[in-house]
Copies of this chain bind each other. A is one copy, B any other.
Amino acid sequence: MSTNTESTLQELAQNIEGILFWKGEAVSKKKLIEMFECSEGQLEEVLKHIDNETKNRGISLVQTDSEVELRTSKTVSKTIDQIQKDELSRDLGKASLETLAIVCYRGPSTRKEIEYVRGVNCQSILRTLEIRGLIEREEEGSRILYKPSIDLLGHLGIATLQELPEIDKVKGMIEKHEENTEE
């Protein structure tokens, strides 16, 4: 019984890793669940398994809440950077940096929320970042939320948002703040 579950998991892991490799781009978790008729819990377990197996390897698993992608590992970036002809600019403007910091650290945010924090109209910067593929919109009821894309995580060299520096501290602060304001 237990071996059976394990072998199913192993098989699922193989399949999902294969699909992710074949796709070569971000795949939505919802789609994977549909594809393999598995539960969300099973998928998370499988992804954890793949993530573990790819530790210290040349390939790594990058994840957001909704998507997952196989990418090269941090160790390989230098080598590829050297091979790649077109050097990508490392410069992001102030408006971009602030907006990205908000969606990364604060979590998915509406345009209004981002504008409240930044104190300026953000219509055009959000459009620019969306065109560059650094942020994505997600519809939640009638609200449109902006959130980091997998490509942004790739650019930042992190596998999940949890790897962002200071993220735990900030998350704690935000929760505390919200508790306070609720009073």
- Residue A83 interfacial (CB < 8 Å): yes
CB-contact partner of A19 in B19, B20, B80, under 8 A? B80
Which among A11, A70, A79, A119 has the greatest number of chain B C-beta atoms within 10 A? Answer: A79
Contact B10 A56 (CB under 8 A): yes
- Residue A109 interfacial (CB < 8 Å): no
- Residue A72 interfacial (CB < 8 Å): yes
Q: How far is the CA of A35 from the CA of B116 in the complex (A)?
A: 33
Q: How far is the CA of A143 from the CA of B10 in the complex (A)?
A: 44
Copies per assembly:
2
Q: Which positions 117-171 of chain A face chain B at CB distance < 8 Å? A: 119-121, 123-124, 127, 130-133, 149, 151
What is the predominant secondary structure among interface residues of chain A facing chain B?
helix
CB-contact partner of A76 in B22, B56, B80, under 8 A? B22
- What band does the interface of chain A fall in when counting residues whose beta carbon is under 8 Å from B? 35 or more
CB-contact partner of A21 in B15, B72, B119, B123, under 8 A? B72
Contact A58 B17 (CB under 8 A): yes
Closest Cβ–Cβ distance, residue A110 to chain B (whole Å): 13
Contact A14 B76 (CB under 8 A): yes
A124-B25, A124-B26 as given contacts; A18 in contact with B59, CB under 8 Å: yes
Q: How far is the CA of A24 from the CA of B70 in the complex (A)?
A: 12
Please, which residues of chain B bring their CB within 8 A of the CB of A73? 14, 18
Contact B124 A120 (CB under 8 A): no
Contact A19 B76 (CB under 8 A): yes
A-side interface residues toward B, CB under 8 Å?
10-11, 13-22, 24-26, 35, 53, 56-59, 70, 72-73, 75-77, 79-80, 83, 115-116, 119-121, 123-124, 127, 130-133, 149, 151
